[in-house]
Amino acid sequence: MPEVWLPVWAFGLLMASSALAGEPEPGMEDPAKVLELPDVEVVGITPLPTLGLPASEVPGNVQSVEDEQMDRQESLNLPRFMNRNLNSVNINDVQNNPYQPDVTYRGFSASPLIGTPIGLAVYQDGVRVNEPFGDTVNWDLIPQAAIANLDLIPGSNPLFGLNALGGSLSIRTKSGRTHAGTQAEFNGGSFGRKTFEFEHGGSKDEFDWFITSNISENDGWRDHSHSNVHQLFVKLGWENETTDVDLSYTFANNKLTGNGPLPYSLLQANRNSVYTYPDTTKPDLSFLNLKASHEFSKDWLLAGNAYYRSNIIDTFNGDVAEDCEQFATYAECLNEDGELSPSAVNRRSRSNEDGTGAQMQLSYLGDVFALKNNFTFGTSYDYGHTDFTQSEQAAAFTSSRGTVGLGTAEQTTHAKATNQYVGVFATDTLSPTPWLHFNAAGRWNQAEIELSGYGTDEEGGRTSLAGHHTFNRLNPSAGFTLQPLDAFAADGGPVKEMTFYGNYNEGFRVPTPVELTCADPEAPCSLPNSFIADPPLKPVVSNTFEVGLRGKLGDDIRWTTALYRTELSNDILFINVGGSGLTRGYFQNVGNTLRQGAEVGLQGSHGSFNWYINYSFIDATYQTHATLQNALGPETVSPGDRIPGIPQQLVKLGAEYEILTGWFFGGDLQYASSQYMRGDDANQLAQVPEYAVVNLHTRYKVEEHVELFAMANNVFNTDYSNFGVVNRNFFTGAPDGGTPERFLGPGAPIGAWAGVRVHFD
């Protein structure tokens, strides 16, 4: 492995300076509070926690969440909470497993599925957790019970590096100082779901500790859909008046079954059924992260981290065999020559992904020319190595469309990929007056990807995957915030803390190793499996403008408005060509795409009543002519055609009221307008219909240490779908691969759960 020389050297300097530092200056802020961002309106503007910026000085519609908000609603996991609460966030249940959703924000995705164009960067305690091989995000590996707070940061913020085309999610975890005490929780209910959580935190002198574990079993509401999630998070900390050091370890060992969308005909007959199975994913994560900060004086703060992350992902998928042209029996099909052959194939893959790296940043908070200033300069290095293998085994279907293997499996792919990412960044916020703040930032990225190994072509021959790709770019950002009432010494009446802001920024996404080895229309691959050497792809560049206005109405109501426009050049899409399942196709640059929209948010409280209303509109369209491919054949896309999978309108309402002392009752509603199916990029077919879902929750504090709670989702038992894709239903017996149908991802029916929580300080 190459040397990680610059950030590691700087990190060593940080640790040495911590050991040699003398007494702090009087009035110096506790660096533990600096690093862990306490409950104040401060936004972390870089992945590493620093002093941050007051929310009033941030030129963007940042959405921040504390763990107390997540606990109140009892959402199963982070994506579900975001979908129910955060503006412009939507979920597509492509896999139909609650831990494997596609999360979209302003039309950009973070998904566990290879083939989804990734446009969001996700960080846990300053470490980017997008996987090295495909930039995917495995939501089940983020320990929900360990989340202290998070920021959802809009736009192409260059400080968050690669993938931050449309936004960044920065997650910070709990510590023994911020979350002292012991808590145990158990809940269970519908679909065989049982969950146990435990956490304990504390501190003594300079040391602190925190541990949490989560065990969840779930039979699923659809057939053959059992899953389990096992998570562990441990953090050890040390701090004095100037230095804070944290060492954390995240472990996960899960088995997720996601049986995907259903043909409309099967959906009408039985919403619980599956098209083909099994479809299992088994990730095994070990993630070690050392982060530290040292305050040299009240004006200078040095922060850094170094990490190692290992994730081994095993998958097993039972699909229709690629050479099947027509269904004959569950055991056999007719191939293109009219001969009988096995109707199914079992695909097994193993992806061994290792990542390591370090980051260092220095912040200066002193005045510049007698003007208030906040400056940060930093550098980062990330190294990833992936060893991917896959095998195929001929199989037959059972009458319920499960697969049974025939004979032995043959290895068809062995791919190796090395990623090296180097970044240098800086940001500065200058305040000429208390009511006007200017921000400028930039990041230079270099990405180097080395590929080796072999794949298998359609004739069964081996092809080399060797390739070397280098990309680099400087991405700038500039913005301002203005408090007009303060600027003109005006009396706004009930309107307070009004802030007007604007910004422009650019982002950068390089083709992933998966995309670089699956980009030939003449030789489509079956994700995440069959790769060959392919034509090069161009990197994706984003340009974002945003303006907004926010403030308070009286003392109890906060409001936000935002308008944004993000244009991508050289956007990369996965072009599905049907055949085996829904994952056969290739990646292609498709020219320019546009995502523009508006957001309005209100949240308030009055006594024991808390509420929020969020509305968002997004217009996501193609901006160039292109000929794409789907399972039915070629399609011509024109400027103005809507990008599939993105509802134009989202509405989110929520409220909670303390009925009696210690007894809270709340509910929320999510509405999503219709969306085009994936593969219908020309907008020629029927859309996935609009839907609305209502959820309820309640909790009652029995006594000081014991709380009972319950929640019900989709209380009106609405039949809805939040995902669709164009494909052929092989099992109808029609030629050419089956009957064209809409494949829909059905939403879960009504479900209810109850539990008990015990807490001791």
- The pLDDT of residue 578 is 54
| Maximum alpha-carbon separation in the chain | 86
Tokens for 170, please give them: 């920065």
The set of residues, in sequence order, having a beta carbon less than 8 Å from that of 546 and lying 6+ positions away, is 59, 60, 61, 154, 155, 501, 502, 503, 562, 563, 564, 565
- Candidates 510, 508, 511, 488; CA nearest to 500 is 488
Sites in the chain below the pLDDT cut of 50: 1-40, 529-534, 580-581
- The pLDDT of residue 70 is 92
Give the separation between CA 483 and CA 456, rounded to whole angstroms: 61
Beta bridge partners of 547: 502, 563
User: Residue 510: exposed, middle, or buried by beta-carbon count in 10 A (0-12, 13-18, 19+)?
Assistant: buried
Q: How many helices (H) and strands (E) does the chain have?
A: 7, 46
Tokens for 113, please give them: 């599925």
- The pLDDT of residue 73 is 85
- Candidates 47, 48, 79, 51; CA nearest to 65 is 79
Give the separation between CA 620 and CA 595, rounded to whole angstroms: 4
> What stretch of H or E contains 153?
strand 147-154
- The pLDDT of residue 11 is 39
CA 377, chain centre distance (Å): 26
**Sequence letter at residue 577:** V
Neighbours of 683 (CB within 10 A): 18
CA 349, chain centre distance (Å): 23
What domains can be seen in the chain, in order of their start residue?
A: 5-760 (2.40.170.20)
Q: What is the DSSP string of 290-338?
A: EEEEEESSSSEEEEEEEEEEEEEEEEEEEEE-TT--EE-SSSEEE-TTS
Phi, psi for residue 31 in degrees, rounded to 5: -65, -20
Say if strands 102-105 and 108-110 run parallel, antiparallel, or are unpaired: antiparallel
Give the separation between CA 495 and CA 254, rounded to whole angstroms: 49
- The pLDDT of residue 523 is 65
Phi, psi for residue 513 in degrees, rounded to 5: -55, -40
- The pLDDT of residue 600 is 98
Residue 563's Cβ-side half-sphere holds a number of Cα atoms within 13 Å equal to 4
Give the separation between CA 156 and CA 568, rounded to whole angstroms: 10
- The pLDDT of residue 723 is 96
